[in-house]
Amino acid sequence: MVAAKLLISHGANINGKDINGKTPLHRAVIYERNWIIALLLSNGANINEKDNDGKTALQYAEERKMDLAMIKIHYPSFM
């Protein structure tokens, strides 16, 4: 978590995409890292960004039936 915060504080592009078009938010959802999801959302990650398959992070969360209750409370725009 410290590394992620440090990268963000030094201007890392939280909406940057990898070769598959996935953003850090996509990856955080795919690997079910709720604390990273919250960190990215609180720092302005784009929840509507689509990857090369045309999917948003929310669609990956729904596919995985993730329990995102705490994230829904603090970041209702994610849902």
Tokens of 35: 């604390």
Q: pTM for the whole thing?
A: 0.83
Q: Which residues of the chain have pLDDT under 70?
A: 1, 69-71, 73-75, 77-79
C-alpha to C-alpha distances, 3 to 10, 27, 39, nearest whole angstrom: 11, 16, 12
pLDDT, tens digit (0-9, with 9 covering 90-100), for 55-67: 999 889 888 888 7
Per-residue HEC secondary structure of 14-76 comes to CCCCCCCCCCHHHHHHHCCCHHHHHHHHHCCCCCCCCCCCCCCHHHHHHHCCCCCHHHHHHCH
Domains identified in the chain and CATH numbers: 17-74 (1.25.40.20)
What type of residue sits at position 9?
Answer: S
What confidence score (pLDDT) does residue 28 get?
94
